[in-house]
Amino acid sequence: MPNAVKKMSENYKSVTRKMTDVLKLNPSALERERSALSGFEAILDRHHIVADRTKSKEADLFRFLRTQILQSMAKNHFKTLAVSSPRYGDGKTTIASNLAVSIAQDLKQTVLLVDLDLRKPSLSEYLGIRPTFGLTDYLAKKASVKDCLVHLPFDRITVFPAGKPIDHSSETLGSPQMQKLASELKERYEDRLIIYDMPPLLEQDDPLVFLPHVDAFLMVVREGVTTVDEVKRALDILQSAKVVGVVLNAV
């Protein structure tokens, strides 16, 4: 693909506002370690959720990203961050999950990770959880917020899964009930950062609908797959947003 995004290329840098980091995970190295893992850890490993590791170059990259994001958020008094990508398959859920886990390692922070990809939710699978209820159940008045929240085997991180997939996702995200929930989640805890795993920017209008409810935006692009044109189009959609960075995912 001749116009695919290349790592640190001049074309890439010319269309992005800021290069946050290059996250180059090594799947073959992870595969060699997998035999020593079981259960929950093995599920995280399968989806490249590595930010909880103490001795890992990949985890160090996410700590570096965490520091940059937290500094930017604190400077601007931001509490909510949306993570998305131009297309499915760019690694947005992997980056959002790792960032949330890494931030939760900070003793001063708590994190709520919310799956807002209501048509194709994948956060529960990536994190190895099987929730009874999720966001779509809450919005359908079948469950309370407390019923939906899932606590991971890590301190200071909670997950709000999407629930059952729905087709009318943009209408749901734009509903008064969702707007009220977004405000309540933002104001409930002073030390909590909310990370929204959003649908891709070029696949549906959900991110644009929900954009007024997020303080900052982190975009994920995939090396050798995402094209320069796709990056430009995605950033055009985010013209009114505070883009805190673009992550080049090398997996």
> What CATH number is associated with residue 182?
3.40.50.300
Question: Angle, to 10 degrees, between the axis of helix 92-104 and the axis of helix 57-75?
Answer: 80
The residue segments making up the domain with residue 238 are: 10-249
Could you tell me if residue 3 is inside a domain? no
Could you tell me if residue 20 is inside a domain? yes
Question: Which residue stretches of the chain are H helix?
Answer: 10-15, 27-33, 39-46, 57-75, 92-104, 123-127, 135-139, 145-148, 169-173, 176-188, 206-210, 228-237
pTM score, two decimals? 0.85
Could you tell me if residue 178 is inside a domain? yes
Whole-number pLDDT of residue 56: 79
In this predicted structure, the answer to whether residue 185 has a pLDDT above a threshold of 80 is yes
Could you tell me if residue 2 is inside a domain? no
Residues in contact with 215: Cβ distance below 8 Å, sequence separation at least 6, in sequence order? 73, 76, 78, 79, 80, 81, 242
Query: Is residue 178 within 8 Å of residue 145, measured between CB atoms?
Result: no
Tens of pLDDT, residues 73-95: 999 999 999 999 999 999 999 99
Query: Is residue 237 within 8 Å of residue 85, measured between CB atoms?
Result: no
Tens of pLDDT, residues 5-62: 343 344 444 444 444 444 555 544 444 444 444 576 777 777 677 777 777 788 888 8
**Which of 23-47 are b and which e, b meaning 16 or more Cβ less than 10 Å from the residue's Cβ?**
bebeeeebeeeeeeeeeebebbbeb
Burial category of 120 from C-beta neighbours within 10 Å (exposed 0-12, middle 13-18, buried 19 and up) = middle
Cα–Cα nearest to 113, from 146, 142, 150: 150
Could you tell me if residue 5 is inside a domain? no
Could you tell me if residue 79 is inside a domain? yes
Which phi and psi angles does 177 have, rounded to 5°?
Answer: -65, -40
Mean pLDDT of 183-207: 92
Size (the chain), residues: 251
Could you tell me if residue 1 is inside a domain? no
- How many domains is the chain partitioned into structurally? 1
Could you tell me if residue 128 is inside a domain? yes
Whole-number pLDDT of residue 32: 41
Query: Is residue 202 within 8 Å of residue 230, measured between CB atoms?
Result: yes
